[in-house]
């Protein structure tokens, strides 16, 4: 349901200046994930879902790849790997009645892993993670995060891993 779903785009910063974030030419897996993220982002917007961005401590919204850049009015939070810590993310989600978060981002083993874990542990949010939307510098890291979401205590059965083409709002 798009009215109770938020699409999170985490830490896609650094395209123009690698010092501003992890999504740049030194991390080609992130760069190659951008077309899939752009399609998912468009689908979320078209359905009327809330779209929220995060940036790393070194970057800002202007450092997000223009291909998937925030629109005016999109909330942007700034923090370390867990986007709930030190931000208004929980408040933003609650104020919009969000029950499901679709989480994309880089690094899979950082922002995606920690934000999804925190969302699930709050026991008020369902998390959906499209595998084409989580990237890292290494394929192994992405595989580990997928395994963790499917098998780890507290996570098993609470995180939905999916493919972009299977998603709908």
Range of the domain at 131: 2-166
Query: For position 163, what pLDDT does the model report?
Result: 86
The pLDDT score that the predictor gives to residue 145 is 98
Extract the tokens encoding 58.
């070194």
Least Cα distance to 134 among 99, 97, 159 occurs for 159
Contact 127, 160 (CB under 8 A): yes
Asked whether the beta carbons of 130 and 167 are under 8 A apart, the reply is: yes
Domains held by the chain: number: 1
Q: pTM for this structure?
A: 0.95
**Are the beta carbons of 8 and 79 closer than 8 angstroms?**
no
Phi and psi for 59 in degrees, rounded to 5?
-125, 180
Q: What is the mean pLDDT of each run of 10 residues along the chain (169 residues)?
A: 97 89 90 96 97 95 94 97 97 98 96 97 92 96 97 92 82
Measure the CA–CA gap between 125 and 97, rounded to whole angstroms: 10
CATH number for 22: 3.40.50.850
Q: What is the pLDDT of residue 18?
A: 85
């Amino acid at each position: 349901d798009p009215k109770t779903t938020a699409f999170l785009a985490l830490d896609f910063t650094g395209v123009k200046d690698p010092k501003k974030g992890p999504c740049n030419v030194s991390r080609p897996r992130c760069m190659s994930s951008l077309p899939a993220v752009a399609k998912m982002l468009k689908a979320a917007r078209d359905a009327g879902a809330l779209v929220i961005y995060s940036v790393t401590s070194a970057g800002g919204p202007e450092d997000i790849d223009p291909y998937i850049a925030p629109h005016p009015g999109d909330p942007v939070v700034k923090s370390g790997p867990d986007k709930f810590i030190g931000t208004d993310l929980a408040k933003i989600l609650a104020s919009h009645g969000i029950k499901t978060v679709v989480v994309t981002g880089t690094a899979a083993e950082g922002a995606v892993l920690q934000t999804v874990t925190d969302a699930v542990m709050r026991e008020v949010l369902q998390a959906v993670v499209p595998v084409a939307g989580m990237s890292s510098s290494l394929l192994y890291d992405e595989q580990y995060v997928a395994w963790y979401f499917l098998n780890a205590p507290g996570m098993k059965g609470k995180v939905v891993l999916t493919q972009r083409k299977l998603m709908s709002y």
